[in-house]
Each structure stands twice: as C-alpha cells, then as structure tokens.
Amino acid sequence: MAVELDVFVGNTTIMDEEVYQLWLDGYTVNDAVKVRMAGGMLDECEANQDVLLSDTMDQYRTFQMCERLLQSPAKLANQLLFQIPPHRQTMLIERYYAFDDVFVREVLGKKLSKGTKKDLDDIGAKTGVTLKSCRRQFDNFKRVFKVVEELKGPLVENIRQHFLLSDKLARDYAAIVFFANNRFETGKKKLQYLTFQDFAFCAGQLINNWTVGAVDNTVEDMDVDLDKEFLQELKELKILITDKDLLDQHKSLVCTALRGKTKAFAEMEANFKNLSRGLVNIATKLTNTKDVRDFFIDLVEKFIEPCRSDRWTSADIKLYLTHYTNSAHILDSFKHQAVWDRYMGVIKSCIYKMYHD
Amino acid sequence: MPGKLKAKIVAGRHLPVMDRASDLTDAFVEVKFGNTTFKTDVFPKSLNPQWNSEWFKFEVDDEDLQDEPLQITVLDHDTYSANDAIGKVYIDIDPLLCTEAASIISGWFPIYDTIHGIRGEINVLVKVELFNDLNRFRQSSCGVKFFCTTSIPRGYRAAMVHGFVEELVVNEDPEYQWIDRIRTPRASNEARQRLISLMSGELQRKIGLKVLEMGGNAVVGYLQCFDLEGESGLVVRAIGTACTLEKQSSGSLVNTHTHPNTAPASNACNSPSKDGKEPVFGEDLPSSSGPPTPFRNLPTSSSSPPPFSPFKPCSRQSSSSDTDLSLTPKTGMGSGGSAGKEAGPLKTLLRQQTQTALEQRGASSSGLLLNAREFPFFTLTSFPPGFLVHVGGVVSARSVKLLDRIHNPALGNTRSYKLLDWNSVTADEPETRDAWWEEIRQEIKSHAKALGCHAVVGYSENTSICEEVCILSASGTAAILNPRYMREGCLDIGSTDQRFDDPSPPSCGFCHIPYDELNMPFPAQLTYCYNCRRQKVPDVLFTTIDLPAEAAVTGKGCLIQARLCRLKKKAQGEVNATAISNLLPFMEYELHTQLMNKLKLRSMNALFGLHIQISVGENMLLGLASATGVYLTALPAPGGIQIAGKTSGDLNNEQHIQAIQKRINDTIAKNKELYQINPPELTEEGVGSPIPEPRHRSRLFRSHSESSDEVSELDLSHGKKDAFVLEIDDTDAVEDIHSLLIDASPPTGFYTCNTETMPGIYNWTTAVQMFTSVRVLRLSNANLSNQSLNKIFTDLCENLLKSFYFKLRSNIPCCLCHLNFTVAVPEEELIQVSVTAVAMTFDKDQTQERFITKGGIETEEQLQFPLELCADSSSTNAQPSSKFSGVPENTIVSPRVSSLEHCSPLTEGRPRSLRSSRSFGGSSVTMVKMTPLSFLPGTRIIKYLGIINMFFIRETTSLREEGGVSGFLHSFIAEVFAMVRAHVAALGGNAVVSYSMKDCVLMENPNKNQAQCLINVSGDAVICVRETDQEPMTSMTNIGQTCAADGAT
C-alpha cells in the first residue's frame, strides 16, 4: 500500500513561510520534515509524520513551480497560475533573493562564471550552506548581474524595479554586481575580518561617488564602471606627497589641529608621512585595473594596519581623517580641491567602516 | 441573422520561446467561430506581441451562439514548415446572451495547450449584438439564465418554481475513433475538448428550450455531468429546476409575490405531460414495515440492454412486467440470508418495493406512461421560508447497466470524422440512456409516495462506470412542498390535502412527519415534536438537503462519513453486472448502519446533505456516504449505543465488552461537550401536552447512563434493535466497533460539514480558502480482505481530513464547509479520493449566537410572521444569521426606500470600477475568490454573470520530468483554477460561487512516462461587493417580510 499521488491545491496558493525557508535553504523533503518535527510541529493540529510529509511535499512542489516566476519577479505579479496576495508575493521574492552573508562573502568580487560555479561545493562545505542554496544564491547574483549590465540609469533603482526587491536588498545586490564587475579582491587573508556588510557599504560609497553615474546619469553601465576621467585626475594628487613643502605644510596643519585632542597624537605625528603617502599612492594607481582590484587590500595594508598596530581608536581615525582631508583645502598651492574631496569622501567613510576596533 | 459576434485580439504576454535560434516567437492568432476563421497579422520576434487587431465579426444564429465556443488559437509562424500551435483559448459566449449577465468579455486568458499546459496569456475582447428574433419556432433559448447554485440565487426571488428539467446528449468519444490512431494526442484531446464544449452548449440550449416551454426564465441547481463510457460513447447529461425568477427590486418586493403569475402556467398547458393527471397517492399507504429509519433504497440489477430497445424485458423497471418483480426480490432475499441479523429490515424493504411496484403497475393504466416525463423533482437544496412544508426522508435508487460495446454497428466508421453530426446519427442512443434514467426516476418517485410525499428535493443523479458496467444512482429527499409556489400540475396533490395549512412553526415544521401516523411506511419511533408539541416527529431524520435556515438546532454539527469497501470477483458482462447488483444492497445497508451508529456516537439526531456514492472498480466496490450531523431541537435525543455480547459466560469477553461500552459512552459524552449539545431540559409536566410515555422520554435524555438491560429492553420494544445495539458475535463486529471509534474528531478550532453552513456559527469573516485535494492509494497486496480494505479506505479519508486541518491551521477558528468527497477506482489496485471544500474563518466570540439555543421561546415569535412571504432566502444575506436577527426586530421599517436608492447605483458602477482597478497598481490580476457555497461571507452578490462550465484535458509524455503524477496533477489543477479565474475576471466578475469539480479522471502509465487527466468544473460567476454598508440591503428583505407580517396580523 503506497500513496501514489497526493496533491492539495488552494485557490489562493497556500505557502508556509517556514517550509519556504527550508526549501530555500536547500533541505530535502525528508530533512525538512525532520526539522519541522523537531520544531514542535507535531503538536499542532494533531499532526503526524505522514501529514507533515504530505504537506512538505505539496509545498515543495508549489515552490518548484513558482521558481520559474521568481526568477523574473515582474512576472509573478501578472501571472495567472498562482493566486498569491501582493504582500505574500513580496515576501516570496524578498526571501528568494535573500542570501547568506557567509556565502556571498566567499564569492564577492569573483567572476560570476561557470568556473566559480564549479567551486560552489567547496564553498558550501566551507560555509555550511547547502549546495542547492549556494546554487540558488549564485544564480541570483548572476541573473541580476546580467539584467542590469545592459540597463541605463541608477544601479540600485534598476535592481529594485526589475526584481521588485526592498531598498536594502537592492543595495546589497548593487554591491555584489559592482564587486563582480570590478573584480575587487576580497578573499585575501588580511581582508578576512571584513564582513559582507562592510564591503556593501564601501560599494555604496564607490557607486555614489566614483562612478560615471555620480556625474552623469544617462550612460550605460554608469553605476558599474568607475569614472575613468576621475581616475585620471587622481594622478594629480601625487603632488601632496611628491612636493616636500606641501607634505610638510600639510603635516603641520594636521598636527596643529590634532594636538591635545587624542592620546594617539604622537603616533599620528610620527606616521603622518607614511599614511599620507599610502593614501595618495592608492589614488594615483587607480588607473590600473589591477590596482583597482587591490583597492581594499591596499587600504588595509597602507592605512588600517599601521593605525591598528598603533592602537588608534575609531574616534582617532575619524578625527585624523577629518583633519587630514580638511587641511588640504588650506594648502595654497594645492589646486585639486574637487578631486581631493571626491576621493577623500569615499576613502574616509570606507576606512571608518573597515576599521574595527 | 439573429446575432453578431465580435472579437478583437489585443495582445499576448509571457509567450513561450518557439524559435530556439532567436529565443523569440513570431506569433499570430486564429479566431474561429463555427466554420468561419479570421487571422491576425504575424507579430514577429516577440514574446509579448501587440496585435491590436481589428474587430473580427461573425454573423451567426443564436442557436450557434449557444452551442459553439469562440475558439482562439495562438500559433508561431514558420516560413518553411507548418506553423506550430502554441495553445488555445475557448471562450463560452453564453454569458453575453443574457441581458442581465455580462455585456463584454475582456481580459487576459491563459493560453492552454493540452500537452504543455498554460503557455502565456492573451488579451481578448468579445462582444455580442443580438437582434430580436420574432421566429416562434426558434431552436435557441437565449436569455434563459442558468445557475449552479442550488438555492434561489441571492438578489432574486422565485415568482414560481416550474419543476424538473433534464436532458442528455450522446456522441461517440473522439478518443475511441479510428482516426485517433493516426492523429497526435494533442489533436485528439482538442477534438474531445471541443466536442464536449459543443455538447454542453447544445445541452444547455435544449434545457433552456424546455424551460421556455414551461414558461420559466431560469434554471436553478443546474447540474451537468459527463459519462465517459469509453468505446460506447460520451454522454453529457444535465438536470435542473426550472423557475421564474424576478430580480429583487424596490417595487416588486411586496406586491407581486403573493399571486404567482399564471401566464407561464398556461403556456405550459400545451405540453402533453400535463394531460394525464397523476394518480393521487393518498391515504392508502402500504402498511408494511420497512427499514427502521426513513431511508429507503432499492438497488436494481440489470443485464445488457440490446440496442434500440429501451424497454427490453431484462431491465429492472419497476413499472414494467411481472418478471421484474420476481427478480428484484431475489437479489435482496439472498443478501438477507447471508447477512444473518440484517435480514429483517431487508426483507421488509423488499416487501415494500413489491407493493410499490404493484401499485405503480396498477397506476400505469391510468396514464402513468403518458405522464412519465413529469417528475416532481427539485435539484434545490435550500428553500425560501415557507416553501418546504414537511420532509419525509431520503429516497434513493440505483441500477446496474451494461454499456454496449458495439452500439451502432450499422453506422460503423462513417461518422467518425463527422464529429458534429451526432444529432442525426446517434439519435437513438440518447433514448436508451433516457429510458435508463426514467426508470430510476420512476422508482424515486414511487419511494417518495410511499413516504407520503409528493415531491423530491435535493435531487441529484450520478454514475459510476468501470469498463462496460455502469451504476446509475439517484437520490433525493422526499418532501411536501407548499404548492403555492409551484406551477399548477407540477406536483400531484390531492385537493383534499390539508397538510399545507397546518400552522407549524418554521423552526420545526419541516421535521413533522408527512406520512400517516397509523399507516407508517416503516416502524419509526414517533414522538411529539419537542419544539411545538403539536405534531409527530420521527426519532431520526436523514435528508439530502441543506439544513433549513430557520431550523432550530442545538449545538453545532459535524461531518459524518460512512466508508466501505467490498471486494468482488473480476468478471465480464452480465455476470459482473449481477455480482455488482447483488452486492449493492449490502453496501447500502452497511453504509446506513455506519451512519446511524456514528450519528448516535455524536449524540445527534439528523443528517443533512447526505450523499452516498458507490463507485465500481474491476475487483471492488467503494461506498462513501457523507453527511452533516446535527441535533435538531424538535427531534428526541438519540439513545446511546449498547454493546451486547452473544456468548455470555466468558468472563474475559464480558470484561472486553464492558471496556468497549465504556469507551463508547465516553466518546458520546466527549462529543456532546465538543459539539455543545445540551438540549434544553424540557419539563414534561410544565408543558402538559399529550406526549406519550413521559417516562421513556426522560430516560432517553440520559440514555447512555442506563444499565444495559434497561436500554436493550427499551430498544427491543421499539423494534430498533439494529440501530441501538451492537452485538459482538464475531471478530467482524469487533472490527466494526473499532472502526466506529477510529474517526477522530476535528482538532480544537475546526468544524466540518458538507452543507452550506454550520449551525451555530454565524459571524464569518471574509477569509475563505477554497481547495481541491486528490489522493490516490495503490494497494500493493492483492489478497486483501474486506476488513483490511475498509481500514485502508477509512484511513485514507481520515488522513485527508487530518492533512486539511494541518494545512489550514492558520485559519483557525474555521469551519471546513461543503466538504465534498468523491471516490473512484481508476485502476484495479488504485483508490482515488478527491475532495473540494472551503475553509471559512469566523470570529471567536459568537455574539450573534442567540437564536439556536432558545428553541422554545423563539417559536412564538416565529409563528407571527406568515409563511407566504416567499422572497428568496434573504437574497443578499451572506450571513445566515442576519436573516433571523432581522425578523424579530420590527423596528426598522422606515429606512427602506432610502436604503434601496443607496444600493442601486452600486450595481451599475461596480463592474467598471473593478475593471479599471486592474490597470493600476503593481498587479494587473484581479483576485477571484472561489467557493463551493452559494455565497461569500461578508459580501453580497450584486450580479450573476453567467454559468462557468469548463472541461479540460491535460496529457503528458514526460511524467517524470513534470514531477511524477503528483506534479502533473498539481500543476493541472492549478491551471484549471487559473483558467476559471481568468474567465470570471474577463466577464467583469470577482468571484465564483457554487463552484464544484464534477470530474477528475486520471489515467497514468508511469512505465511509459505518460499520464492523462480530465477535469470538469462548474460554478456561477458573480460580482460581489463588501458588505460594509450592508445593513440597508440585508434589512430590506426582512422589512419586506415584516411589512407583510404587519399587514397580516
């Protein structure tokens, strides 16, 4: 005696959020049943294992049928097959596109190619995310990447409209797309302490300030590619470290402003030239794609690590960078104020975010 | 040229990729009606084509408009090879032919392919311009409204009920034609879909003609079924109740309904059926004994009917020759003997049939045959107040027939490719089927008469087919109706009949026995009505109708099911038919016993919505009886169930029996609490009415606490041994008792019923969740016993219910209403159960619960308002309670006119606003609610847009890839829902009421990776609006009633 067929179809599609999550997390039907049983589901409505199994199977089938629609969320709203109230649709989409930070941290900045996809089982093993879930998340990244690649207009807005995601999730996807496009290095050991949210924040800063879109919002790929002209202009900042007078003048201005305001003053004074060289060198090298990729590792090596070894606090960093940026404006012979501001604005907020006490 | 059909193809979306090279599609559309086809231009390289075509115009007869669907085919243009079909949309034009229904069809329809399912959507506009037709001999019946709803539709009132209409059409099944061997499965499926669409169109038109002939303007309770008879053909049949409906409006409310319009009746005089007056079945009821309860069934057997002879000698037709009479008892006699203790009731049952048949035979001389087509049957299950006078009990009849394989050998293959010419070619065949059904209906009619009733309400018919054997079943509830609302001659009532004038209170009147107390058709235990104490009532009442809204009920109700499996030997032809008809009486009897015991176990005394289905398979018969048990305040409290062991002396056995008895008593006590059955403790002395045996009555109230010998003495003295006492004489009986107790009551927060609503629950919220669930079980072990099969089958049903509770737990507190179980034996070792129901949530605090428990007090108030107010059952009331709540309050009279004005603009304005609402917002899809009930709680129906009657076939040759049979059926059911919703939305509607899935036939062949499924659904498309400013509208009917009441008093 065996159940040959067992279906349950509601006019309004019934979807249990808990089962949906288990499905998204890549649990098999049997594992999902075990999880639900462990979660005390048996006590509800006098259920037994068969009931749970039947329910889980039904829901899994429904989700599988829905998956095609979830991959182009706009269709979910005007498809006729499943009657799903709008707020449930939003939930389904949001959850489908949600990802595990540990997983995305692993693929961030990698090329979204078949090669990377092959490594997913390793990543899965490393992060404890099931392969099925890894694949879904990876395919989501790739799908979003492909769609927005060819679109004009602001990146976050495009993602939000095409995939009907919340603002927060759209921003995260923008970061992922941005990182994948520019292939930023995030996997080095020195960068391991940074979370996805740290990078996402930085990506937001870069997108808003350093891309073509920051100045002109009509071109293609405007939010994905860095503004070439700006990168070129950054070379001009070299004067801050190559001109000895300027460097000294800058240092004295900063030191005057900082004196007495922090315990780390001595270290700041001692390291000023090194740190300034580090930051300006990063700026001047950004015309090379290779150096763009190393942007974050450079920030860590050239600035964050020295500060950390001197035990600066976050407040110290903030104080230092504020004065460092502002003092450059007072330098008479320094003419590149606009570029400097555009550069340092991003650097400042990225370092704040990346500097963990 | 009576009509012009116009169609415009606007756009498509989400089309499938048809050209792999470009990942795009070059789509165009063919629009076909009758033999005319138009094409749109090709819209190249797009998955979202914008055709924006001209208006395609078809000039057609209205007859064709009724029969034919508009057929829209989406194709992919291919320069070098044949164009590939993407899919089709069939649009039923019928709703546009009624002036009161929809005026335009406009919307997105799923493009459906029988192999691939839904493949994108297409936006279509359809309009019809009808010209007035002066031809009196026309074949069309445009304008007759059809309703699946089995009550008077809300917003209408029945000026007159004309009676039973039926029709059937027959054709060869395209699937079984020779051409099917050479055409693709797709072509075959499409031929079938199209044929059935045509046949149901024709059927509806023919029924409409009959209604017009009777002088009616609508069919209510329209029930259409398909019989897939395999090689012997395809039968589409329908029954319904012809009515003259009037739209409820301010003017007609009070003045017209008291005097039924006589014009339609005179019209009907032309029909020959009226000429012969049916013999009156009056006071001389047979005094024979019968089954212990008002439940009568008479399975009759039959062997293969030769073609072209409906009245062949071997058929069991109650009204034909003597040989029938001698044969039928044989069936029962054998069964009675083998069943031992069950022999008694069966014998009496047979005796009774003999008499009935004799009676009929006598009657046939006085014009019975002439009159044969006139049946006082009503497919309605709920009635306007005052309509239903008394209810006798359930009447049912079954007959086993052999379908003939080579039916029309002379015609051979010639008609195979002339699908549409069935009218001319197979003209004889419907008559055979007609005759079969007529036999059954005659039988039903005579059973009703035996119960002293002149009408059958809640009438339905169905079939079960396995290979060449077909079981035809019909059942209904014998009743006495108030002739005031009937067309003259529709009921055969003796002029001396006084029963309609008795002033029974509506809360209990229908329970009063219709038959003569001194000449009871069966030994029922009569007592005076516990509600009014004037009339006699039986101790239990079984009916197929819904619980009358005005009935006084104690506590809540619940779903009660009897389930049964019986093995039978595999056989062919007549042997098989005989074997089946021999088994049927046992099954009926056992199902009935189960129902009775389960009813008592729940301490209830009446069943409503009883539906018994017997399904035949190659090696077994399945029986499933579902009903909603309630405690009618008017009926006596049921006695407990007494266990008795046959072999006394054995101490172990005694203990065992006592243990079981305790379990049963505990269950009864638990159930009483669960369903809140606390019948009012009537003080016998206080009332002082002439109630016999007061001692006995008082004992009944606490019956299960009695000591065993007392109860058995009591039972025996009333000849009700079978109903009360369960004897454990063998292991079978023990199993039976176990199975009795195995039914789990629903978990807290859930109620179940198979009727429209649950007594005792009134404050529904607007949350409804309709669902369909199908489960198929494969019996692995070939050598199963009846007992273990029963267990498997019972578990299957119980587990389904358990699954529902779990799935719908978020809707708690909720009631699963209209739980409709259908069983089938699709293959030798498969059992299929399909369920459609609706979960309705209600508010926990029963603030409005004031009517039911008061019983006695209420009756006085009830009596004050006259029975003649016919207005349909509260028309717009979504909440059954408001009907009552409104009545006693005589205060709200004045705001009537203003409230009506307040309401009417909505009727016009709403559809447009609904339509426009689809265009804004993120979603372009209208939410369409579906329910098997005739109403949606918290809303009122402002317009009926027409009947939805759709038939789909889905086939796959990649079963595994689609997720196995479950995946296949899951997506198919979802697709069917989607297509129903799309059609309703295109008509401008936002809900389907009285939705039902008539058929779900699944065939699979996993080895070949194939499966095929046929689904037939129907319902009424409606526009409903939120009942926010409802008070005016609901009170309107009530005011009308109270006005009349004031006038009368």
For residue range B154-185, what is the model confidence (pLDDT) as tens digits? 888 888 888 899 998 888 888 777 776 778 88
**What DSSP character marks residue B406?**
S
Q: Please write the tens of the pLDDT for every residue from B419-458.
A: 334 444 444 456 678 888 888 999 998 888 888 888 899 9
Distance between CA atoms of residues B325 and B318, nearest Å: 7
Residue B358: its pLDDT value, please? Answer: 35
Decide which of A19 and B1032 is more confident.
A19
Contacts of A15 in chain B (CB under 8 A): none
* Burial of B183 from C-beta contacts in 10 A (0-12 / 13-18 / 19+): middle
- Interface contact B929-A14, CB threshold 8 A: no
Q: Is the model's pLDDT at B1006 over the cut of 90?
A: no
Residues 6+ apart with CB under 8 A from A355: A304, A307, A308, A312, A314, A317
**Mean pLDDT (chain A, rounded):** 88
CA distance B1020 to chain A (A): 16
Residues 6+ apart with CB under 8 A from B397: B297, B298, B299, B300, B440, B443, B444, B447, B473, B474, B475
Q: Please write the tens of the pLDDT for every residue from B27-44.
A: 999 999 988 999 999 999
Across B370-419, the runs of DSSP E, i.e. the strands, are 388-402
Contacts of A47 in chain B (CB under 8 A): 802, 805-806
Residue B609: its pLDDT value, please? Answer: 92
Write the residue in A46, A61, A78 that is nearest to B963 by C-beta.
A61
Q: Are A132 and A26 in contact (CB under 8 A)?
A: yes
CA distance A218 to chain B (A): 26
Contacts of A50 in chain B (CB under 8 A): 799
Collect all residues from A whose CB is shorter than 8 A from any CB in B: 1-14, 44-48, 50-52, 54-55, 57-58, 61-62, 64-65, 75, 77-83, 85-86, 89, 164
Distance between CA atoms of residues B278 and B369, nearest Å: 10
- Interface contact A46-B747, CB threshold 8 A: yes
> Which pLDDT band holds residue B382 (cuts at 50, 70, 90)?
confident
Residue B821: its pLDDT value, please? Answer: 94
Q: Please write the tens of the pLDDT for every residue from B386-425.
A: 788 888 889 999 999 888 644 443 333 333 333 334 444 4
Query: What are the residues facing B758 on neighbouring strands?
Result: none
Closest CA to B983 of B164, B270, B279, B105: B105
Dihedral angle, C-alpha B861, B865, B866, B868, nearest 10 °: -130
Residue B728: its pLDDT value, please? Answer: 59
Q: What percent of chain B has pLDDT over 70?
A: 65
Q: Which residue has the tokens 């470009």?
A: B22
Q: Are B602 and B671 in contact (CB under 8 A)?
A: yes
Residue A265: its pLDDT value, please? Answer: 84
- Interface contact A78-B971, CB threshold 8 A: no
Contacts of A75 in chain B (CB under 8 A): 14
Residues 6+ apart with CB under 8 A from A116: A107, A110, A138
Q: Is the model's pLDDT at A213 over the cut of 60?
A: yes
Phi, psi dihedrals of residue B589, rounded to the nearest 5°: -65, -45
pTM here?
0.81
> Which pLDDT band holds residue B910 (cuts at 50, 70, 90)?
very low
Distance between CA atoms of residues B332 and B347, nearest Å: 7
Q: Are B636 and B697 in contact (CB under 8 A)?
A: yes
One-letter amino acid of B16: P
Closest A-chain CA to B767 = A12
For residue B14, the number of C-alpha atoms closer than 13 Å in the C-beta half-sphere is: 23
- Interface contact B805-A46, CB threshold 8 A: yes
Strands B69-76 and B388-402: unpaired
Residue B16: its pLDDT value, please? Answer: 92
SS3 B17: coil
SS3 B876: coil
Strands B750-752 and B27-33: unpaired
CA distance B238 to chain A (A): 26
Closest A-chain CA to B747 = A45
Contacts of B799 in chain A (CB under 8 A): 50-51
Structure token pair of residue A10: 């509601």
CA distance A140 to chain B (A): 20
- Interface contact B778-A2, CB threshold 8 A: yes
| A–B CB contacts, 8 A cutoff, strictly below | 147
Write the residue in A2, A7, A80 that is nearest to B110 by C-beta.
A80
Closest A-chain CA to B117 = A81
DSSP states along B878-928: SSHHHHHHHTT-TTTTTTHHHHHHHHHHHHHHHHHHHHHHTTSSS------
- Interface contact B830-A4, CB threshold 8 A: yes
Residue B133: its pLDDT value, please? Answer: 56
Closest B-chain CA to A60 = B967
Query: What are the residues facing B6 on neighbouring strands?
Result: B57, B127
Residue B863: its pLDDT value, please? Answer: 32
Residue B57: its pLDDT value, please? Answer: 93
Residue B858: its pLDDT value, please? Answer: 33
Distance between CA atoms of residues B617 and B827, nearest Å: 7
Question: Could you tell me how many residues make up chain A?
Answer: 357
- Interface contact A7-B108, CB threshold 8 A: no
For residue A213, the number of C-alpha atoms closer than 13 Å in the C-beta half-sphere is: 20
Residues 6+ apart with CB under 8 A from B873: B151, B152, B154, B382, B383, B384, B385, B549, B883
Host H or E run for residue B842:
strand B830-842
Q: Are B908 and B917 in contact (CB under 8 A)?
A: no
Host H or E run for residue B291:
none
Q: What domains lie within chain A, and their CATH numbers?
A: 17-97 (no CATH), 101-183 (no CATH), 228-354 (1.10.490)
How many whole angstroms from its chain centre is CA B542?
A: 16
Question: Could you tell me how many residues make up chain B?
Answer: 1049
Structure token pair of residue A55: 């329910």
Contacts of A48 in chain B (CB under 8 A): 802
Closest A-chain CA to B805 = A45
Closest A-chain CA to B780 = A1
**Mean pLDDT (chain B, rounded):** 71
Query: What are the residues facing B118 on neighbouring strands?
Result: B112
- Interface contact A9-B771, CB threshold 8 A: yes
Distance between CA atoms of residues A41 and A52, nearest Å: 8
Q: What is the mean pLDDT of residues B214-240?
A: 88
CA distance A1 to chain B (A): 4
- Interface contact A11-B929, CB threshold 8 A: yes
Closest CA to A255 of A304, A343, A327, A332: A327
Q: Are A8 and B771 in contact (CB under 8 A)?
A: yes
Q: Is the model's pLDDT at B494 over the cut of 60?
A: no
Decide which of A312 and A60 is more confident.
A60
- Interface contact B970-A4, CB threshold 8 A: no
Distance between CA atoms of residues A136 and B948, nearest Å: 40
DSSP states along B124-165: EEEEEEEPP---TT-S--TT-EE---SSPPTTEEEEEEEEEE
Distance between CA atoms of residues A66 and A76, nearest Å: 8
Chain B interface test: which of A9, A20, A61 (most B C-beta within 10 Å) = A9
Structure token pair of residue A156: 């976050």
- Interface contact B809-A45, CB threshold 8 A: yes
Query: What are the residues facing B256 on neighbouring strands?
Result: none
Q: Which residue has the tokens 């309009």?
A: B127
Distance between CA atoms of residues B461 and B474, nearest Å: 4
Q: What is the mean pLDDT of residues A105-124?
A: 86
Candidate from A273-277, B25-29, B1024-1028 with smallest mean pLDDT: B1024-1028
Write the residue in A6, A14, A52 that is nearest to B966 by C-beta.
A6
- Interface contact B806-A7, CB threshold 8 A: no
Strands B455-466 and B469-481: antiparallel
> Which pLDDT band holds residue A171 (cuts at 50, 70, 90)?
very high
Distance between CA atoms of residues A39 and A33, nearest Å: 10
Q: Is the model's pLDDT at B664 over the cut of 60?
A: yes
Closest CA to B952 of B174, B222, B15, B90: B90
Write the residue in B13, B978, B1002 that is nearest to A81 by C-beta.
B978
Q: B690 preceded by cis ω (within 30°)?
A: no
CA distance A85 to chain B (A): 8
Candidate from A12-26, B124-138, B826-840 with smallest mean pLDDT: B124-138
Chain A interface test: which of B745, B790, B801, B803 (most A C-beta within 10 Å) = B803
Chain B interface test: which of A80, A93, A162 (most B C-beta within 10 Å) = A80
Sign of CA dihedral B737, B739, B742, B745: negative
- Interface contact A80-B978, CB threshold 8 A: yes
